[in-house]
Chain A
């Protein structure tokens, strides 16, 4: 019985649903009934307490949109990725490496036109 009470009371405290068998137990068990009553009252008090929170002031959305209006346009994901500094540096380095390689190949093929593996003597 005690384990049943523990299991049901844990669910009540956590605000989880109690099945029909559990509900019948709560109706019959003074201890579980008391816990259920206390936590139902607490749930209601918390909900009411938070419902009385600050109201959204008039014109709030207008003020947010006024602040949004002075922001730069939201860039797309691709624009944001391409805008990253490290990516720009990496792409520049790759471009430089390709250019240097091509230059070397050009110079070597110009200065040493007959030197190639398997080429004619």
Chain B
């Protein structure tokens, strides 16, 4: 079932079809919000609000202009930036694993030492991502979700594909420099 079919179902009064849209995009949305620096509880709140706003405005969505995923991520991005601005914080530098399951390491690894090193690397990368300017962070995180095309990202950010590429390059250069500094 493609998004268009599900959306028509929802607009026709079948609210349950919306559940399938939620299930389809919830994981990517959480990863995006995590990448934007929100811890688990805030990510859940923002993701829920994004889905609710999408539901309320579904009749306004124009499939001819953008894919549903692009439209949904545009809503989520605005919510995330507003929340970050409202709370006057550079969203916390976090260890998501600490939020939930007592430091449980999800990725399988051959040894505890390697797992710790990987977790530490991940923590440093996330911290470095949070230090990026908002506009670079958003574009870079969207690109590394690996589920959106350059055109999708361009639609979400309201910029050209060329600008998406240059932001990704700039973001990666800054990340590399920040990570190199943190290793010194």
Name the segment of B43-51, B64-72, B79-87, B152-160 touching the other chain.
B43-51
Residues 1-39 (chain A) with a chain B CB within 8 angstroms: 10, 13-16, 38-39
A-B contact count (CB 8 A): 133
Given contact pairs A54-B30, A68-B18, A76 touches B172 in the complex (Cβ within 8 A) = no
Complex: how many Å from CA A53 to CA B145?
11
Q: Is the CB of B121 within 8 A of A57?
A: no
Residues 30-81 (chain A) with a chain B CB within 8 angstroms: 38-39, 42, 45-57, 60-61, 63-65, 67-69, 71, 73-77, 79-80
Residues 34-84 (chain B) with a chain A CB within 8 angstroms: 34-35, 38-40, 43-44, 47-48, 51-52, 55-56, 58-60
Complex: how many Å from CA A48 to CA B97?
13
Partner of A55 from the list B40, B123, B143 (CB cut-off 8 Å) is B40
Least Cβ distance of B120 to chain A in Å? Answer: 11
A-chain residues with CB within 8 Å of residue B18 when the two chains form the complex: 65, 68
A-chain residues with CB within 8 Å of residue B168 when the two chains form the complex: 14-15
B contact face: mostly helix, strand, loop, or mixed: helix
Q: Is the CB of A52 within 8 A of B59?
A: no
Q: Is the CB of A71 within 8 A of B144?
A: no
B-chain residues with CB within 8 Å of residue A57 when the two chains form the complex: 40, 44
B interface residues, how many (CB within 8 angstroms): 59
Chain A residue nearest to B49 (CB atoms) is A67
Complex: how many Å from CA A79 to CA B58?
13
Q: Quick check: is B4 within 8 A (CB to CB) of the other chain? A: no
Least Cβ distance of B83 to chain A in Å? Answer: 15
Q: Is the CB of B22 within 8 A of A64?
A: yes
Partner of B176 from the list A10, A42, A48, A52 (CB cut-off 8 Å) is A42
What 7 A-B pairs have minimum CB-CB distances, sorted nearest first?
A53-B34, A49-B125, A54-B40, A49-B122, A53-B31, A14-B169, A54-B34
| Chain B interfacial positions (CB closer than 8 Å to A) | 10-11, 13, 15-16, 18-19, 22-23, 26-27, 30-31, 33-35, 38-40, 43-44, 47-48, 51-52, 55-56, 58-60, 96-97, 99-100, 106-107, 118-119, 121-123, 125-126, 129, 140-141, 143-146, 165-166, 168-169, 172-173, 175-176, 179
